[in-house]
Copies of this chain bind each other. A is one copy, B any other.
Amino acid sequence: MIIVLKENPEQQQLKNLEEWLKGMNIEIHPTEGIHSTILGLVGDTTRVDIDLIQALDIVESVKRIQEPYKSVNRKFHPLDTVITVENTSIGGDIFAKIAGPCSVESEEQIIAIAEEVKAAGATILRGGAFKPRTSPYAFQGMGGEGIDLLLKAKKATGLPIVTEVMDLSQLDLFADVDVIQVGARNMQNFQLLKELGKSDKPILLKRGLSATISELLMSAEYIMAGGNEKVILCERGIRTFETATRNTLDISAIPVLKELSHLPVVIDPSHSAGIARFVPTLTMAAVAAGADGIMIEVHNDPSKALCDGPQSIKPDAFKTISENIDTLRATIKELK
């Protein structure tokens, strides 16, 4: 339920209303809208008498929200959310270009790639320290050591870092990580989401392989309900019957999510198609569809990558994509 207040609401009335709601165990999430204040109510609002509230002088309008998600709902928070990450951001005017290898393999590798993607226009460095592998016999990642190397790369280049956490028990190691990633297979790891809700770090939440848009938003709601409002939604392809690509990039997710929610939306074209040579095309489609950023796997020697080599592109290819993104974005802004 949202209550839209008139401009300059009489303070005592407002205070009374807030106390009455809190007495019914309802949380109030106020947002400054463009012209007025919106009170987003979270809790059991079924017993709240709409007519009673509508009758108050300070109230412009009241509306029940059908969707099960509240905090992530654009009706609660009409303006786009912009998330600051060190000296860059995700969700505002700056298009987020997140790039780096699938996994951190060595100091030399990660620093080399970091420098190349930095030079090519990346705004954030990605790299896997803890890798979710379908097989227990596959390379599981360098773990804590991988995070240290990412921090070295950050020091060397100034790029903030994003990396995936696979379990609550690892969270201590993420103290200096700038953005924490929740992988597709952990999108409904509710315990992890609740814990990340207590953090104040930005969370990059990947859509599950077969998660509906609604489920993705509810997982974001878990994090926001814990108090952490810095959630970035990431579409990375969904599982379908088609086998020509590894997953099927759901390009409609961009306009659908941006209509339903105020959170920024980034696309991962690397995991979507799973094929390096399609990454440029899918990136252009994502930009044209209104994405706030992309996350691309870049490796200086894909054939020797310890994971996901076939979908990784080389630094010079990334440079081309980066320049094309800028060109395309300039045009997108000109469109009617």
Query: A residues near B, CB below 8 A?
Result: 42-43, 68-69, 132-137, 166-170, 185-186, 188-194, 209-210, 212-215, 218, 221-222, 225-226, 238-245, 248-252, 254-256, 259, 272-273, 277-278, 281-282, 284-290, 320, 323-324, 327-328, 330-332, 334-336
Contact = CB atoms under 8 A, between A and B. Distances in A.
Given A242-B238, A285-B289, A327 B334 contact: yes
A212 B241 CA distance: 7
Contacts of A135: 68-69, 218, 221
Contact of A190 (B133, B277, B281): B133
A241 B215 CA distance: 12
A245 B238 contact: no
Nearest to A187: B185
Nearest to A132: B190
A87 to B, nearest CB: 27
B254 A251 contact: no
Nearest to A328: B331
Given A167-B191, A191-B167, A212 B243 contact: yes
A254 B285 CA distance: 10
Contacts of A222: 136
B328 A288 contact: yes
